[in-house]
Structure 1
Amino acid sequence: MNEQKDFDILEMPAEGLAAYWLSIKKLIDVKRSKKVLDDEIKYTREPFIKYLLETAFSELDEATVRRLAQAKSDTISDEYSRKLSSMCIALLAMSSQENPRISFVRMAAQYPTALISEKKAFTLAHGLIDGMNEKDSDQSVLLEFDHKLQGDRLLVKMLFHVILSRKEGKQQLEQLIPHIKTPFYANGMTQVIDGFEHRILKLNLTVQSKEILKYSNRKMQMATEMCIAIRNKLNYDDIFRIAKAYMS
């Protein structure tokens, strides 16, 4: 079994998530060995799924498993919400050509504790701009943007985008699009480049970020119910019925 690299519950469709749990059920039924679960726990990198597997198939009672799964879901949702909010601020700052210092303060304020100092953030962001112009730099690493990055690295990347937009113009952002792995941010940046009216851009970003969070929470609820159903040894058809309750 290979380590999973692209499994992300926050961005994968509910249908793909349901298929994952149904495949786990099939493997357990066919192999009838605890090794199936041990392997999944070992190789799964997706945080919520890994936590579910570790918790649901422990000695904890079902009520405790549900309570802990909800706590983990809330923790992940809160972190994702902060990142989405800071992305919205960055995109709107690019649109309005806002002073980068103001943008950084507003982005950093989304977090309960200081992740990085303003001075260090600006030093690193300007370093990224310098790196873009160096022929030997690895652009795929330098320009990579992914919501899975740590909060401090994400802030630096977004500050870099805000500075680049203000210094060299919005059209310079186009070269970044192929390196952005978060669809929400890539779509927003495309709208910035295309010159969407600031008011419309803000409305689009606000509505979409709320829908993303709602959908993510629903997927984590579905994952919890399907995992517990597997723990309780429900049959395949009944587990599929649980999945269908969370899909349109």
Structure 2
Amino acid sequence: MGSVQRALRLLECVAEHEHGAPAKQLARETGLALPTAYHLLRTLVHEGYLRRDKGLFFLGEAAERLSDTAAKQKRRSTVVEALAHWRDLIGVPVYYAVYRDGEIEVLCVSDSPGSPAVEEWADFRETGHAHAIGQCLLSQLDEGARRDHLDRYPVETITPYTVRDDGALLRRLERADGRTPVVERQEYALGAVCAAIPVTLGATAATIAISLPAQQGDRLLAAARELQAEIGRMPGSLAISISI
């Protein structure tokens, strides 16, 4: 355990020196005996956590991978906390999704026993035309990307309320203004209504969405507008990497 602690102290010390540092300096700053520091530095270089160049030590690829992983976990935690906050505040399930590499990806869902999420009974990726999440994401794409998506995942009847054909869907998407929540009522799942709010994440199409039982459909627009207002008050929580 002592060796691990000393090695971690060296890693932290190297991380503080953007332009590298020699072994003697690292030993002095960590309070380690020079032979101990040399031994640990050689081991860390061998394992890829450090690299040595012209007598100076820098973070290696293995340490950088650890750093990237920690950053991703922190960003995901931020997303989870934001969605849970909105779930409890508004009393609805909250979803976060993006359009990445030609696919709809629901990255996070926050629900509760009293407000359960809509069951994914038909693959969300293949039924984007039928649910608010997919419609909101597709509305943010250009015409070519929309048609490419529909060529791969054509419109199909999911419920009696589903949009009937590509043309009808494309006309609906063209009417979306990028500010108003996209709403669907029982198009994906009977007994459920949904609203999705477009979110700007650089060039990535993203959305935060909610759902309600159909019998509470009169709450949907008000809840969506409340969520939209809350998102506007918390811009930092939405600076979300699509890599989570």
Q: TM-score, normalised by structure 2?
A: 0.26
Q: Which structure ranks higher in relative contact order (CA pairs < 8 Å, sequence separation ≥ 6)?
A: 1
Q: Over alpha carbons, which structure has the higher Rg? A: 2
Higher strand share: 2
More helix by share: 1
TM-score w.r.t. the length of structure 1 is: 0.26
